[in-house]
Amino acid sequence: MDHFERAVETIGIDHVGFGPDTMFGDHVGMHHIFAKELGIKGALSAVNYQEVEFVDGLENPSDFPNILSWLVKNGYSDSEIEKVIGGNVIRVLKDTWPEENI
């Protein structure tokens, strides 16, 4: 949520949104498989990153209500919440896609 707030401070609430992962189950294990098969570890071999298994409170997509609770508890308005949980994405799609694709 610190990252979210920094993004809001930097680019504004109209340009930020949440896109929760849609994979349920052992998504950490799946990420390990993807990293092994599709990763760019060779290109980043000199860089040492600490592995983070999950974001506390967002261990899987069913935890999305934790984001909503946090936004309410931290004073975001209904309008701001609507923007970041999909409204901004819908606005951008309407502005950029041909009307027949919407």
Residues 30-66 pLDDT 10s: 767 766 666 666 666 666 656 666 667 676 666 778 8
Give me the mean pLDDT over the 8-24 stretch: 85
- Give residue 37's pLDDT: 66
Contact by Cβ (8 Å): 8, 81: no
Residue 102 has pLDDT above 70, yes or no: no
CA distance 69 to 47: 36
The closest of 65, 88, 71 to 17, measured between CA atoms, is 88
- Give residue 36's pLDDT: 67
CA distance 16 to 4: 8
pLDDT confidence of 25, banded at 50, 70, 90?
low
